Chain A
């Protein structure tokens, strides 16, 4: 027998405060789902980036270095130094075509890109991803090409992590706010119902109901409202998620790699309506018990 089919000692029809609880649970689950998704997606992105970035360097030979010969000569000198360096596993010049491809998202499809004077890039794979290796390699590269810019991707990654953490904090703050609002709404709605059903409660007491039994009646009502609202929240969230996924898919894969959602993500999503309903249930139960404890 489901909770929905069970007989209730409290009249449920025309229960406006209950509907308000359902509405808030719906919003909470929606925001929660958003937070869980942002969290999973950002986590996945960082993971992707981290894997491809750690232990690698990008060396940029600017056009200005061409003064001492041409850029290609500078590249050759640096590659020579790197290939003999003990900390380097592999060093390779990035072909001009790939540099152009990387710039396309910013510069557009215009053919003029092909004629642009571009800096040369060298991808370096380190044997170990420690700061000492990065410093040693930097020193060697600077002697071969004084104008070289060495990017160990860490500054960039730090900023991405900062952005991700910012998003998480916003999502958590939003969830905290909505959870608080839900808790307070349930407390006030339950108190209002206690007044509204004072006669029913007196009858229940007179026929020998314990406070826990009466609290259970309210709690079950909150559970039903919570589950209904929670499911509605998830159902509403599905199209929102699809929209975000579609928007993300339009962004070039080089910038936003596809993120594989983990089983943990789906567990968290499924748990959301139940967690919100549990919160509603426990709050209603405690509110009633506290209110009844001070009565005759």
Chain B
């Protein structure tokens, strides 16, 4: 089998591949129609398109919260919906997701929210404490570690959400409008975090409708409109 591999062996194919993917909600119209897309390793993409185009839907297919109504999705070479259910958590642990609406757990402190991906994977508390504190410091939340999400501003919550998405060094980072609630300075700082993680080996896909942001970085963009995707190389393509 072309995509089979031993556990733990280094994977060399595309990070994500969509083949003939269609998505519709219930009996609604097709949000995505025959989408073919492959995201190579250590790549960086913007995902653009008007509001309601299906950016969130496309990402949620990639983080396995939805099943396509047609077509195949491969994550790290594995056909996701052919695999056993017990395999899904293993694949998801290689992903980092920033939800558009953050989805922080309101009864947990910022620290515990960020620690969640490590805890569900059974990480030891000592390394966990160090990694989480370090990361929270990096995103400028060292003073809010023990605050509940409801005690934080929108921008602070967003940074907690981003920290939670990257704390476990995922191979693929999917961020849905991650700079929507912060000012330009912080937006740039968060972008630099994603760029840094990309340099360390993660693939990154950032959904945004901020044209300004897209223009400032030399990354290709996946444009979504009328259920179809088109991939555009950066304007002055010379990174």
Taking a contact as CB atoms closer than 8 A, the residue among B66, B89, B105 that contacts A208 in the complex is B89
Assess whether A206 is in contact with B97, with CB atoms less than 8 Å apart.
yes
Chain A positions within 8 Å of B67 at CB level: 296
Q: A9-B116, A213-B120, A293-B85 are known contacts. Are A206 and B65 too (CB-CB below 8 A)?
A: yes
CA distance A11 to B105 in the complex (A): 8
Contact size class for B? Answer: 20 to 34
Q: A11, A13, A202, A296: which has the most chain B beta carbons within 10 Å?
A: A296
Taking a contact as CB atoms under 8 Å apart, the answer to whether A203 and B92 are in contact is no
Contact with A along B58-81 (1 / 0, CB 8 A): 000001111100000000000000
- State the interface size on chain A (CB cutoff 8 A): 21
Apart from A206-B92, A208-B120: 16 A-B pairs, beta carbons within 8 A: A7-B112, A8-B107, A11-B106, A199-B103, A203-B103, A203-B105, A204-B116, A205-B65, A207-B92, A207-B93, A207-B116, A208-B90, A208-B168, A210-B120, A296-B64, A296-B67
Cα–Cα, bound, A82→B108 (Å): 86
Q: Which of B100-120 contact A (CB under 8 A)?
A: 103, 105-108, 112, 116-117, 120
User: Which of A200, A206, A209 is the most central at the interface, judged by chain B CB atoms within 10 Å of its CB?
Assistant: A206
Q: Which residues of A contact B (CB under 8 A)?
A: 7-9, 11-13, 199-200, 202-211, 213, 293, 296
Assess whether B55 is interfacial by the CB under 8 Å rule: no
* Contact assessment for A210 and B64 in the assembled complex, using a CB-CB cutoff below 8 Å: no
Which residue of B has the minimal Cβ distance to A210?
A: B89
Residues in chain B near residue A12, CB distance under 8 A: 107
Q: Are B120 and A13 in contact (CB under 8 A)?
A: no
Bound: A156/B93 CA distance, A: 72
Given known contacts A11-B106, A202-B103, A296 and B65 CB-to-CB distance under 8 angstroms: yes
For residue B164, CB closer than 8 A to chain A, the reply is yes
Give every chain B residue within 8 A of A13 (Cβ-Cβ).
Answer: 107
**Residues in B whose Cβ lies below 8 Å from that of A9:** 105, 108, 116
Assembly CA distance A205 to B65 (angstroms): 8
Nearest-CB distance from A197 to chain B (Å)?
A: 10
- Is B86 an interface position by the 8 A CB rule? yes
Give B104's nearest chain A residue, CB to CB. Answer: A203
Contact: A11 with B164, CB < 8 Å?
A: no
> For the complex, what is the distance from the CA of A100 to the CA of B116, rounded to whole Å?
80
Which residues of B lie under 8 Å from residue A7 when comparing CB positions? 108, 112
